[in-house]
Structure 1
Amino acid sequence: MSLQINIDNGGTLTDICILSDDAVRKTKVLTTPYDLSKCFFEGLTKASGVLYGAPDVKRLLEEVDLIRYSTTQGTNAICERKGPRLGLILDASAHDLPSRLAAHDQDVFEALVGDRIAFLDAAAISADEADVAVAKAINTLTAAGANRLVVSFGGADFQALENDFRLVALRKYPRHLLGAVPILYGSDLTTDPDGERRTWTALINSFLHPSMEAFLYNAENRLRAYRTKNPLLIFRNDGDASRVAKTIAIKTYSSGPRGGMEGVKSFSRRYGFADTVSIDVGGTTTDIGQYIDGTVAEVRRGHVEGISVSFPLCEILSAGAGGSSIFKVVDGRIVIGPESVGAVPGPACFGRGGREATITDASLLIGLFDPTSYFGGGMGLDADRAAAAVTASVASRLGLGLDDALLRMEFAYEEKIAAELHRFTKISDETVMLAFGGAGPLNACGVAEKAGIRRVAIPQMAAVFSAYGIGSCDVSQRYAVTLSDAAELSGTIAALKVKASRDMFAEGCADGTYTLDARLVADFGDGRTLVHVLGDQLEVPAAFAGARSVEVELKAVRSLREGAERSARFAPRSSAAAHGKRNVLIRDRGRIDVPVYRLADLADGDFASGPAILEEDYFTCRVPENWQFVISDAGDILLSRED
């Protein structure tokens, strides 16, 4: 039997998708941000219980073929500005570089670097006074509070300058000494000729590195103790996976949302949707993407919080609003996020010490959740604590009754996500909104109405959709180097192939088990790029003449992808049978009883109209008035406006 475990680690909840020959199963655990390896193994333990009827993680790890892991921790760290204090060492000739870097995003630059910047004359690095100059720069920054350093020089010889600095730093601060501060060099990650982009790439990678390194190596070491036969694979933001030792931190940024976008591609193709916008609502963020005519948007120079970096990234917007985002009243209006209560202490209704109001608290008080069945019945909800939080944070500050405050919170939450949809995507009459994540289906129809979208799809696996989506990834390694001379092309390709062979061997892939693809990319510096796929003839095309830079890109891929997904359809056949009723607060109607439909009880073609609640163990969907839902032959849901 083939057995795969996909884990998507979010800010509040960690999702587990279990794929075997006969079924797809799911479960969730609370994220433990103080030790991510704890929720990682709690997830494996719970998954073994789902599979075997009782927890047996030892048996699971003996039988599992693949464990894939993705995370939103990098996204959340950047969004919430939580990470190490960085120091930045620059070439003295680039005195205006800090202001140019800050121009990309002043707030992020202040959070990561601030005024911890040292300038160093490039000529001094290779002179007799190099030891003094380097030591002075490092000591100045560490004294200012920097606990990690980034070195980024400019000019055509930036790699040589950074190597010279490295030699001096290693001599003055050997790594075995306790006082050796970690130093990252921009050229370690990329030879991108754009200095601003290269520096931001190094800063973001350095910011994310400590937490990712500590957790991933800890998790991998614990897996080794169980003698797991295959290594942990880290799903990256380029859509593929690699071992921990072959993954850099910035590649984990937005990897969870990218898993969701892989799922969006598969889902849209299954139902023939040509234009799909997606909202992946977790505890801390709402990740927004778009699929159009067979593909999701990916740019060669991706963006982190709107900041251009040197690596390709799927175009996903992470808005600071999720199920655990904090509601505040600012200047008489309700503001949501980006701060989140996270998994610890969590929303007030979780009863773990949280006192801030969240949409989870509001939804419980509105009547959308059953406190006894929430989270599969594994977590009781405390309505009194939720009411106290909403009253203190919102109602009393606006002079409102509790119900009025709840409706305003719900409206503000839906408005914010709808506004972000319009800011980041293009919406047409044909657009379908795909809602997933633990909190995605809850207010999906309300968001769609405010965004002008008339159809909403919810996957059966919505609660763990990003974990489900990473199940189709390949193992790969990617390389990019700047080509300084066309005559060096053959030698450059040969060197990259040797590196690929070594790295893929480290991935457990012998020669002949993976494919190699090479291409040239010319950047003309005016927004124009040309791509030339390299075959047997290794030559630079004449059209590349005049390019500002030419990069050689090589990709080694071991395919793990399964066959094409079968098609499915939505076709109403018979009225759905309600499971029960729930008293729900509805705008302009007050509190009324509405039917509750359990997804597990519904069959192909079952349909019903709102107001209603549609739910399963790990998600709840509010079906408003004038909306109808229908179940597909694959068990997925389509909601449509009726008027």
Structure 2
Amino acid sequence: MERLINIDNGGTLTDIVVGSGADFTFTKTLTTPVDLSQCLFDAMSKASEQLFGHADLAGLLHSTRHIRYSSTQGTNALVERKGPLIGLITDDPSLADTLRGLEDRGGLFDDLVGVRVAVVSPDGTPEDLAGALVAEINRLTTAGAERLVIAAGSADREQLYKRAMLRNFPRHLLGSVPILFSRDFAADTSRTRQIWSGILNSFLHPTVERFLYSAEHRLREYKVRNPLLIYRNDGASSRVAKSVALKTYSSGPRGGLEGTRALAEAYGLPHVLMIDVGGTTTDVGEVTDSLITVDRRGSIQGVAISYEMSNVHSFGVGGSSVIAVRDGAITIGPESVGAAPGPACFGFGGTQATITDVNLLLGVLDPDTYLNGELALDAERSRSVITRTIAEPLGISLEEALVRMEGTYSARLAEAFAPLVSPDGDTTLAAFGGGGPMNACTAARTAGVGQVLVPRLAAVFSAYGISFSDIAQSYETPVTGCTVEEIDVARRTMTANASRDMFQEGHDLAECDLEWSTIHEDGTEILTLTAIFRLPHPHLEGGVPGATSAAVPAGTRRVRSSATQVDSVAVYRLDDQQPGATAPGPAIVEGPFFTARVPLGWNLTVSTAGDLVLTDTL
């Protein structure tokens, strides 16, 4: 069977899962922010070494059917506001205020667009329009606009703008300032969703564009047959050239959510909340009765967009989030040290404190086994940074600072998912990502959740979740008031578009499943089509054996439980335990590329599949 490679690129670490049937190989590598294609190839090279006993990237690539890729780069860019300055051209003087008024959380429009708004009068001759456009484009670019979004009151007027701009700014002159026409970008019944979608896509596009095409170019050097596929936030995959940047936003968390749904089905869990704790963000999603909540029109940071999205929310708290003192209080994020320079303990020049530094000094992390021993941690650097940035400004001891930092971090983590906890008490928290298992139990207890499930593949679980995706393209056409003949024409047109696009994906339409539906939105009847080429999916096993046995410790570790107390706790290697193995906390569980802290009052049990089930007994 040909292999399928799944890669989840995070702000600090990049995860890879290589699957063939029921067999999976996985590993992690540091993200290389200067050239993101480098960590992609580093990850595949490491995986090939595990598979073949020696590095053989060419051998891996030539035995692979598809490479599916997701990234949190867009999510992180928006959280940290690291992207191009956007200019908006419109004929509606009130548009900027309208867009600001639609924000659930103020500031997004001002951060992305701000005062870079040009209002071009709808009146006057074509010459007047051309002159006004030239003047406003010059003003916006002088003000720093790196990308322009055109949002006129009608499709005809946008086309008029387009013609006038091409006459006065030929492509070879304006090419350095990409232009997006909002009506061409997304099919939608709402103009404000279209315009917001255009603004957000323009902001996210350069974050992923450069490295994706660079990665495709490097893959061609290996004469790879099949193209790189982008995993999207609707749970499907498609070629780079057939994807838009906006659909990469929160795509990694969607992979985690698909994996969470598989966990819920395997273990028979009615309500599961996922927390995917990465370096820069924690992504929270929900699965109820094995169903993922999907928004027909998704939202990003409280702003409605034109595309479907799973209901995943990103919070600026992760393993590399900066912990600082502001106005006499400890704060977490949203700034992140990322992979470069990374947490202080990485030894790459980091000068700001993170929860990774805290857990190292608390004793939760072993400096010699972090990332399976591939990255030795420097406790002295963590001690120096936390003393300087936290303990001394607060006038407290290092030990007190560590306990307070952990408490603040766990409380922030709990805030991210507490509103979704079921009042019926049937919620299970699925904790994964490199940092999820470390603080999941303390956060769960704070939020009133009594069971935490840590999959054996927790460290790469979002990458594993991509395994449940297929290749797909979607279409929609408004058909309100159409005759039977007109609807038939629309169906034929949509089918033809699907045939063309799926052919470009490398598959005949006859090989695909066609899913038709009719929906109603804002008083409009819409015909939809999704063309799907099915790929092999894995199967998860759940459940806990009826017979239990005592877990076998590999040693002990001294872990700080308060400013004045350090306890000797048992350390268990997850892969050394038999299904049904159980032990009480306090304990430390070392899994593949992750560490789980089991506090006092919690019990651990190893499931049939080798996952870690944690239960609060208090």
The TM-score range, normalised by the shorter chain, is over 0.9
1:69 to 1:563, Cα distance in 2 relative to 1, 3 A: closer
Q: CA deviation at 1:179?
A: 5.6
Q: CA deviation at 1:90?
A: 1.2
2:369 alignment counterpart: 373
Distance across 2 between alignment mates of 1:460 and 1:435: 11
- Counterpart of 2:148 in 1: which secondary structure? strand
1:31 to 1:563, Cα distance in 2 relative to 1, 3 A: closer
Q: CA deviation at 1:479?
A: 1.6
Offset from partner CA, 1:481-537 (integer Å, 9 cap, x none): 33464133222222221111111000001120112222222224xxxxxxxxxxxxx
Distance across 2 between alignment mates of 1:56 and 1:512: 36
1:604 alignment counterpart: 579
The answer to whether the 8 Å contact 2:544/2:579 transfers is no
Which stretch has the larger CA shift, 376-385 or 483-492?
483-492
Within-5 A mapping of 1:526-541:
none
1:79 alignment counterpart: 79
1:471 to 1:135, Cα distance in 2 relative to 1, 3 A: same
1:267 alignment counterpart: 263
1:49 alignment counterpart: 49
Distance across 2 between alignment mates of 1:223 and 1:635: 35
1:64 alignment counterpart: 64
Distance across 2 between alignment mates of 1:559 and 1:219: 25
In the alignment, residue 162 of structure 1 is paired with which amino acid?
Answer: E
1:290 to 1:22, Cα distance in 2 relative to 1, 3 A: closer
Q: TM-score, normalised by structure 2?
A: 0.97
Answering whether residue 255 of structure 2 is matched by residue 280 of structure 1, we say: no
- Counterpart of 1:65 in 2: which secondary structure? strand
The equivalent position to 2:599 in structure 1, one of 624, 631, 643, is 624
1:302 alignment counterpart: 298
1:152 to 1:484, Cα distance in 2 relative to 1, 3 A: farther
Distance across 2 between alignment mates of 1:25 and 1:72: 22
Distance across 1 between alignment mates of 2:24 and 2:60: 15
2:17 alignment counterpart: 17
Runs of at least 5 residues in structure 1 that lack an aligned partner in the other structure: 525-546
- Counterpart of 1:389 in 2: which secondary structure? helix
Distance across 2 between alignment mates of 1:563 and 1:49: 23
Which stretch has the larger CA shift, 384-393 or 252-261?
384-393
Offset from partner CA, 1:90-125 (integer Å, 9 cap, x none): 12xx2222122123043221221010000112345x
For the aligned residue pairs, the C-alpha RMSD in angstroms reads: 1.6
1:149 alignment counterpart: 148
Answering whether residue 526 of structure 2 is matched by residue 551 of structure 1, we say: yes
The answer to whether the 8 Å contact 1:571/1:632 transfers is no
Which stretch has the larger CA shift, 126-135 or 105-114?
126-135
1:497 to 1:631, Cα distance in 2 relative to 1, 3 A: same
In the alignment, residue 70 of structure 2 is paired with which amino acid?
Answer: S
The equivalent position to 2:494 in structure 1, one of 477, 493, 496, is 496
Q: CA deviation at 1:152?
A: 1.1
Distance across 2 between alignment mates of 1:48 and 1:447: 37
The equivalent position to 1:466 in structure 2, one of 442, 462, 467, is 462
Within-5 A mapping of 1:419-568:
419-424=415-420, 426=422, 428-483=424-479, 485-487=481-483, 488-524=486-522, 547=523, 549-562=524-537, 565-568=540-543
Runs of at least 5 residues in structure 2 that lack an aligned partner in the other structure: none
Which stretch has the larger CA shift, 238-247 or 496-505?
496-505
Q: CA deviation at 1:390?
A: 0.8
Q: CA deviation at 1:311?
A: 0.7
Distance across 2 between alignment mates of 1:290 and 1:22: 26
- Counterpart of 2:126 in 1: which secondary structure? coil
Q: CA deviation at 1:412?
A: 0.4
Q: CA deviation at 1:20?
A: 2.0
The equivalent position to 1:313 in structure 2, one of 309, 313, 327, is 309
The answer to whether the 8 Å contact 2:22/2:539 transfers is no
1:349 alignment counterpart: 345
The answer to whether the 8 Å contact 1:28/1:43 transfers is yes
The answer to whether the 8 Å contact 1:191/1:482 transfers is no
Distance across 1 between alignment mates of 2:273 and 2:175: 49
Q: CA deviation at 1:2?
A: 2.6
- Counterpart of 1:578 in 2: which secondary structure? coil
Offset from partner CA, 1:307-326 (integer Å, 9 cap, x none): 11111110011010000000
Distance across 1 between alignment mates of 2:129 and 2:257: 49
In the alignment, residue 633 of structure 1 is paired with which amino acid?
Answer: T
Distance across 1 between alignment mates of 2:148 and 2:15: 34
Distance across 1 between alignment mates of 2:43 and 2:136: 45
1:528 alignment counterpart: none
Which stretch has the larger CA shift, 177-186 or 579-588?
177-186
The answer to whether the 8 Å contact 1:572/1:607 transfers is no
Q: CA deviation at 1:567?
A: 4.4
1:614 alignment counterpart: 589
Q: CA deviation at 1:563?
A: 6.8
Q: CA deviation at 1:161?
A: 1.9
The answer to whether the 8 Å contact 1:317/1:424 transfers is no
Offset from partner CA, 1:586-634 (integer Å, 9 cap, x none): 1376112111000111111111111110012310001101110000111
- Counterpart of 1:569 in 2: which secondary structure? coil
The answer to whether the 8 Å contact 2:589/2:595 transfers is yes
In the alignment, residue 141 of structure 2 is paired with which amino acid?
Answer: T
Q: CA deviation at 1:427?
A: 5.0
Distance across 2 between alignment mates of 1:479 and 1:405: 54
Distance across 2 between alignment mates of 1:326 and 1:562: 38
Distance across 1 between alignment mates of 2:389 and 2:20: 46
The answer to whether the 8 Å contact 1:174/1:180 transfers is no
Answering whether residue 16 of structure 2 is matched by residue 4 of structure 1, we say: no
Answering whether residue 107 of structure 2 is matched by residue 107 of structure 1, we say: yes
The answer to whether the 8 Å contact 2:273/2:286 transfers is yes
Distance across 1 between alignment mates of 2:327 and 2:167: 55
Answering whether residue 558 of structure 2 is matched by residue 583 of structure 1, we say: yes
Q: CA deviation at 1:21?
A: 3.5
Distance across 2 between alignment mates of 1:498 and 1:50: 44
In the alignment, residue 135 of structure 2 is paired with which amino acid?
Answer: K
The answer to whether the 8 Å contact 2:346/2:377 transfers is yes
The number of aligned residues is 614
1:175 to 1:49, Cα distance in 2 relative to 1, 3 A: same
1:13 to 1:205, Cα distance in 2 relative to 1, 3 A: same
The answer to whether the 8 Å contact 2:185/2:198 transfers is yes
The answer to whether the 8 Å contact 2:22/2:538 transfers is no
Distance across 2 between alignment mates of 1:168 and 1:280: 47
The answer to whether the 8 Å contact 1:570/1:630 transfers is no
1:164 alignment counterpart: 160
2:139 alignment counterpart: 140
Distance across 2 between alignment mates of 1:443 and 1:632: 20
The equivalent position to 2:211 in structure 1, one of 210, 215, 226, is 215
| Percent identity (aligned) | 45
Q: CA deviation at 1:552?
A: 2.6
The answer to whether the 8 Å contact 1:611/1:623 transfers is yes
In the alignment, residue 507 of structure 1 is paired with which amino acid?
Answer: E
1:394 alignment counterpart: 390
- Counterpart of 1:266 in 2: which secondary structure? helix
